[in-house]
Amino acid sequence: MTDSGLYQALDYILNQSNEATIEALAEAVVKRRRDLSVFNAFGNMPDPQKMAKEITGKINTGISSSIDAMRESVQTMIIKLLKEHAPELNDKQINELCQAWLPGQKDSGSSLPPNVLLSMIDQFISFSHGEMNESVDKGLREEIGAWPQRYWNSFPSVVRQLITDYLKNKIPEKDFKMKITIALGV
């Protein structure tokens, strides 16, 4: 115990404690003396901090390996489902989806929330089809500058690929919307 800790304890005992707290302190002292005599009989006293660190390390190792195994199982299941239900996705796109969907994976290419990305995608598609209101386009350009390019650069590559396929009429609108929703995890 540091000197200040010892002084605080003594101050509490001498100046602030009542009969009940003195009794509790006396029992604690008796227990501590008993523990010390038992530990001294075995030759060394355990270090509680060291023991706590060792136990915590073992627990963390076990949890970490369990989480890794679970992540692998989920990733395998995601890959199987994507290959079955979205065979047009290549391995790179599947990997990006796994990274976006699984906790602890590296960033999927965008730190924007899915609802913001959905709105950006809608605006980008509307602009690309020539359906965007001029005032909306002007407002975005005043606020963001070259917004179509900035939007495009902020989209994860799997989203860019889906947009490209949709704009080239490789996938119908219904499939596009479903796949975007899946890609963003919403």
- pLDDT tens-digit map of 31-69: 888 877 766 665 565 666 777 778 877 787 777 677 777
Q: Hey, how many other C-beta atoms are within 10 angstroms of the C-beta on 92?
A: 11
pLDDT at residue 52, rounded to an integer: 75
Q: What is the pLDDT of residue 45?
A: 59
Cβ contacts of residue 123 below 8 Å, gap of 6+? 132, 136, 140, 151
- Cβ-based neighbour number of residue 64 at 10 Å: 10
Residues in contact with 91: Cβ distance below 8 Å, sequence separation at least 6, in sequence order: none
- Whether the CB-CB separation of 95 and 78 falls below 8 Å is answered with no
> pTM score > 0.85 for this model?
no
114-128 vs 173-184: helix crossing angle, rounded to 10: 150
Which position has the token pair 């989209």? 155
What is the pLDDT at residue 70? Answer: 79
- Output the pLDDT for position 148: 93
Q: What ranges do the domains of the chain cover?
A: 3-42, 67-184
User: Is residue 171 within 8 Å of 179, Cβ to Cβ?
Assistant: yes
Residues 20-55: b if buried by 16+ CB within 10 A, e if exposed:
eeeeeeeeeeeeeeeeeeeeeeeeeeeeeeeeeeee
pLDDT mean by block of 10 residues, the chain; 186 residues? 74 85 86 74 64 77 74 84 86 80 56 85 94 92 90 88 93 91 81
